């Protein structure tokens, strides 16, 4: 008989023993910290729907990124909030744009920090869509030119990695060609490969001022009902030259992360998006959950599903918890 010779609780009796047999472990190196950068000086504007998150001017962004780096968070992702918008999002690929300036400042003052930039024009367009619009339609191929220019100006500014999030077909290949031709053949691309049309992005859109002024993004972001399609998106991006592929959001799509992990050998990123963050923060503030414990449990589940990298607004808080547990 298997019982009582096989007792699963034997290895759960002591914390040291539980650590020895633990299958999945988090470290601060797993995290990428998303940050919003805006114009001005000494600006730290709270984001109402994302408690604890802010829009940072470049001077304070550098301080925040430095603090994260000192905690062991070795990478940040930048999202720009420009001072002007137009139909093509031209400030996104202005060599003196807000993100380009932020990249230069970060690489000058925190040179060992890995700086990644979001490549998408939605924060820069006056209509809020991720592509060029004509007669109410989002134009795919016309948008690629904007993305090529945006990625190149980020590379010129000194960024370490670009991350296209627009979900236009062919954009990874277009950006790879542009970077190669511009003398950046070693610049890695982290593709938002399986980005779902999720309602969990709402707090981000408030933070970035990027809500569409008409319609929605379902003609280019993925249907939440589809998993096999996500694998096709991932495989296409790998073929086009992606070095890392991302699944976004994370928690509702752990199955997609796991399927992707079983099929590709390159690193996988997962984005714990603004809505996931805000729900945990709100429940924690109400006393309905232990925010710190739930934060760590959700991050662990994302890594357990197969993610190598986790973009999370909890990056600093989680790093502090992990660091304190080691002392």
Catalytic residue among 248, 281, 303, 316: 248
Q: Which of 81-90, 129-138, 207-216, 296-305 has the lowest mean pLDDT?
A: 207-216
**All residues at 6 or more sequence positions from 152 whose CB lies less than 8 Å from its CB, including other chains:** 93, 178, 179, 182, 184
Distances (CA, A) of 185 to 10, 31, 164, 178, 180: 53, 25, 16, 9, 4
Q: CA 220 to CA 274: how far, in whole Å? A: 20
Active site residue 248: yes
Instruction: State the pLDDT confidence band at 326, using cuts at 50, 70 and 90.
Output: confident
| pLDDT of the residue at 209 | 85
6 exposure class (CB count in 10 Å sphere: 0-12, 13-18, 19+): exposed
| Verdict on whether the full-model pTM lies above 0.75 | yes
Q: Which residues pair with 78 in a beta bridge?
A: 35, 117
| pLDDT of the residue at 6 | 87
Catalytic residue among 195, 281, 303, 316: 195
| pLDDT of the residue at 15 | 92
Q: List the chain domain ranges.
A: 24-326
Q: CA 49 to CA 66: how far, in whole Å? A: 25
Instruction: State the pLDDT confidence band at 327, using cuts at 50, 70 and 90.
Output: low
pLDDT surpassing 80 at residue 81 = yes
| pLDDT of the residue at 1 | 62
Instruction: State the pLDDT confidence band at 3, using cuts at 50, 70 and 90.
Output: confident
Closest to 210 in 3D by CA, of 115, 53, 79: 79
Assigned architecture for domain 24-326: Alpha-Beta Barrel (3.20)
Write out pLDDT tens, residues 91-113: 999 999 999 999 999 999 999 99
Write out pLDDT tens, residues 208-222: 888 899 989 999 999
Q: CA 91 to CA 81: how far, in whole Å? A: 10
Instruction: State the pLDDT confidence band at 63, using cuts at 50, 70 and 90.
Output: very high
Q: CA 38 to CA 45: how far, in whole Å? A: 9
pLDDT surpassing 90 at residue 200 = yes
| Contact predicate 247/259, CB 8 Å | no
SS3 content of the chain, % helix, strand, coil (to 5): 45, 20, 35
Dihedral of alpha carbons 142, 244, 240, 273, sign: negative
For residues 105-116, b (16+ Cβ closer than 10 Å) or e, as one string?
bbbeebeebbbb
Rounded mean pLDDT, 229-257: 98
Closest to 92 in 3D by CA, of 61, 115, 125: 125
Query: What percent of the chain lies above the pLDDT cut of 90?
Result: 94
Write out pLDDT tens, residues 157-189: 999 999 999 999 999 999 999 999 999 999 999
pLDDT surpassing 90 at residue 256 = yes
Q: Is the peptide bond before 188 cis (omega within 30 degrees of 0)?
A: no
Look at strands 44-46 and 54-57 and give their pairing.
antiparallel
């Amino acid at each position: 008989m298997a019982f009582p010779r096989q007792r699963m609780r034997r290895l759960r009796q002591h914390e040291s023993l539980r650590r020895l047999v633990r299958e999945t472990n988090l470290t601060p190196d797993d995290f990428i910290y998303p940050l919003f950068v805006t114009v001005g000086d000494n600006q730290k504007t709270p984001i109402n729907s994302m408690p604890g998150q802010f829009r940072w001017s470049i001077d304070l962004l550098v301080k925040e990124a430095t603090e994260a780096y000192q905690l062991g968070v070795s990478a940040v992702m930048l999202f720009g909030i420009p001072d002007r918008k137009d139909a093509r999002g031209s400030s996104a690929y202005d060599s003196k744009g807000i993100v380009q300036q932020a990249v230069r400042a970060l690489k000058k003052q925190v040179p060992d920090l890995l700086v990644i930039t979001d490549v998408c024009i939605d924060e820069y367009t006056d209509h809020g869509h991720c592509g060029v619009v004509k007669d109410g339609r989002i134009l795919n191929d016309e948008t690629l030119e904007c993305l090529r220019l945006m990625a190149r100006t980020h590379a010129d500014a000194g960024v370490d990695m670009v991350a296209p999030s627009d979900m236009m077909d062919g954009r990874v290949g277009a950006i790879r060609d542009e970077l190669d031709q511009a003398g950046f053949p070693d610049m890695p691309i982290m593709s938002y490969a399986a980005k779902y049309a999720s309602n969990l992005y709402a707090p981000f859109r408030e933070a970035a001022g990027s809500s569409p002024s008409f319609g929605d993004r379902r003609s280019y972001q993925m249907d939440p009902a589809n998993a096999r399609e996500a694998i096709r998106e991932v495989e296409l991006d790998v073929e086009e030259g992606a070095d890392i592929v991302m699944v976004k959001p994370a928690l509702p799509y752990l199955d997609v992360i796991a399927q992707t992990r079983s099929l590709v050998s390159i690193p996988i990123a997962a984005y714990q998006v603004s809505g996931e963050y805000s729900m945990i923060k709100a429940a924690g503030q109400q006393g309905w959950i232990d925010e710190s414990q739930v934060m760590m449990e959700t991050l662990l589940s994302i890594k357990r599903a197969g993610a190598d990298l986790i973009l999370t607004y909890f990056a600093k808080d989680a790093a502090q918890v992990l660091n304190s547990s080691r002392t």
